Structure 1
Amino acid sequence: MKKTGIVLVLMLIVVSVLSACSSNGNNSKDSSGQAGASTEPSKDVVKLTFWGGVPPEAGPQEIVDNWNKANPNIQVTYVRYVNDDSGNLKLDTALISGQSVDIFANYTKPLLAKRVSSGSALDLSQFTDYGIDDKMGPGAKEWAVDDKYYAMPTKRNIHFVWMNKDALDEAGLPVPTDWTLADVEKYAKALRTDTRWGYAMFPFWRDIVSFDGSLAVQGYVKEDGTSNLGAPIVSEALQRQYDMMHTSQVSPPISLIETTKMNLIAEFLGNKLAMLNAGEWVFRDANNGKDYPRDFKVAFAPLPRITQEQDDFRYLGGLGDALAINAKSEHKEEAWQFLKWYADGGMLPMAKGGRIPASKDADQAKALELLLGDSKDKYDVESLQRILNNDLPTFQVTLPQEVIDIRREEFDKYYIKSQSLADTINNVVKRHNDYMKRK
Structure 2
Amino acid sequence: MRKSKWWMASMSVVLTAGLLAGCGGNGDAKEGGASSPSGSSESSGNSGSSGSKTKLTLWGAVPAEAGPQAVIDAWNSENPDIEVEYLRYVNDDGGNLKLDTALMTGQDADLFISYSLTRLQKRVDAGVALDLSAKTDYDIDAQMGPDAALWKIDGKYYGMPTKKNMSFIWLNKQMLDDAGLPIPPLDWTWDDLKAYAAKLKKDNVYGLLQHDSSYTATLDGTIAGLGDTNAEGKSNFNNELWKSHLQTLHDMMFVDKSTPEYGEQLTSKMPVDTMFLKGEAAMLSAGEFIFRNANNLAEFPHDFQIAFATVPRVTADQKDFKYPGGLGDALSVNAKSKNQDAAWKFAKWYADGGMLPMASGGRLPSSKSVSSDEAIKLLLQGVENMYDVDSLNKVVFGSFESFQLSIPQQVIDARKEEYEKYFLNKQDLDTTLANMAKRHEEFIK
Decide: shared fold, TM above 0.5: yes
Match of 2:189 in 1: 180
Match of 1:202 in 2: 211
Q: CA deviation at 1:236?
A: 1.2
SS in structure 2 opposite 1:327? coil
Match of 1:129 in 2: 137
What are the Cα deviations for residues 83-124 of structure 1, in whole angstroms up to 9, with x where unaligned?
A: 111111111111111111000000000110111001010111
Residue 189 of structure 2 corresponds to residue 189 of structure 1: no
Match of 1:354 in 2: 362
Q: 1:89 to 1:42 in 2, by over 3 A?
A: closer
SS in structure 1 opposite 2:331? strand
Q: Percent identity?
A: 49
Match of 1:420 in 2: 428
What are the Cα deviations for residues 108-163 of structure 1, in whole angstroms up to 9, with x where unaligned?
A: 00110111001010111221111000001100000000000000000000111000
SS in structure 2 opposite 1:161? strand
SS in structure 2 opposite 1:198? strand
SS in structure 2 opposite 1:75? strand
RMSD: 1.1
Q: Distance in 1 between matches of 2:324 and 2:278?
A: 26
**What amino acid maps onto 1:354 in structure 2?**
G
1:45-64 counterparts in 2 under 5 A? 45-64=53-72
Contact 1:50 1:103 (8 Å CA) reproduced = yes
1:191-270 counterparts in 2 under 5 A? 191-207=200-216, 209-270=217-278
Structure 1 gap segments, 5+ residues each? 1-40
Q: Distance in 2 between matches of 1:55 and 1:336?
A: 23
**What amino acid maps onto 2:229 in structure 1?**
V
Q: Distance in 2 between matches of 1:172 and 1:184?
A: 15
What are the Cα deviations for residues 32-77 of structure 1, in whole angstroms up to 9, with x where unaligned?
A: xxxxxxxxx9711000000000000000000000000000000100
Contact 1:203 1:254 (8 Å CA) reproduced = no
**4+ aligned runs moved over 4 Å, structure 1:** none
Q: Distance in 2 between matches of 1:125 and 1:311?
A: 34
**What amino acid maps onto 2:174 in structure 1?**
D
Size of the alignment, in residue pairs? 396
Contact 1:84 1:204 (8 Å CA) reproduced = no
2:398 to 369, 390, 397: 390
**Residues 389-398 or 325-334, more deviating:** 389-398
Q: Distance in 1 between matches of 2:285 and 2:261?
A: 14
Q: CA deviation at 1:202?
A: 1.8
Match of 2:177 in 1: 169
Q: Distance in 1 between matches of 2:250 and 2:106?
A: 43
SS in structure 2 opposite 1:211? helix
Q: CA deviation at 1:201?
A: 1.0
SS in structure 1 opposite 2:181? coil
Q: 1:401 to 1:42 in 2, by over 3 A?
A: closer
**Residues 148-157 or 121-130, more deviating:** 121-130
Residue 375 of structure 2 corresponds to residue 367 of structure 1: yes
Match of 1:281 in 2: 289
SS in structure 1 opposite 2:75? helix
Contact 1:175 1:300 (8 Å CA) reproduced = yes
Q: Which protein is bigger by CA-based radius of gyration?
A: 1
**What amino acid maps onto 1:272 in structure 2?**
E
Match of 2:280 in 1: 272
Q: 1:205 to 1:388 in 2, by over 3 A?
A: closer
Q: Distance in 1 between matches of 2:127 and 2:151?
A: 17
What are the Cα deviations for residues 373-411 of structure 1, in whole angstroms up to 9, with x where unaligned?
A: 211111111110111342211111110011000000000
**What amino acid maps onto 2:248 in structure 1?**
R
Q: CA deviation at 1:433?
A: 1.0
Q: Distance in 1 between matches of 2:99 and 2:443?
A: 25
Q: Distance in 1 between matches of 2:267 and 2:304?
A: 29
Contact 1:345 1:362 (8 Å CA) reproduced = yes
**Residues 214-223 or 140-149, more deviating:** 214-223
**What amino acid maps onto 1:365 in structure 2?**
D
Structure 2 gap segments, 5+ residues each? 1-48
Q: TM-score, normalised by structure 2?
A: 0.87
Match of 2:4 in 1: none
Match of 2:6 in 1: none
**What amino acid maps onto 1:105 in structure 2?**
I
Q: 1:285 to 1:389 in 2, by over 3 A?
A: closer
Contact 2:214 2:286 (8 Å CA) reproduced = no
SS in structure 2 opposite 1:49? strand
**What amino acid maps onto 1:123 in structure 2?**
D
Match of 1:409 in 2: 417
**What amino acid maps onto 2:199 in structure 1?**
A
2:385 to 373, 377, 383: 377
Q: CA deviation at 1:363?
A: 2.1
Match of 2:12 in 1: none
2:158 to 150, 164, 187: 150
Match of 2:440 in 1: 432
SS in structure 1 opposite 2:218? coil
Contact 2:252 2:259 (8 Å CA) reproduced = yes
Q: CA deviation at 1:314?
A: 0.7
Contact 1:120 1:328 (8 Å CA) reproduced = yes
SS in structure 1 opposite 2:311? coil
SS in structure 2 opposite 1:47? strand
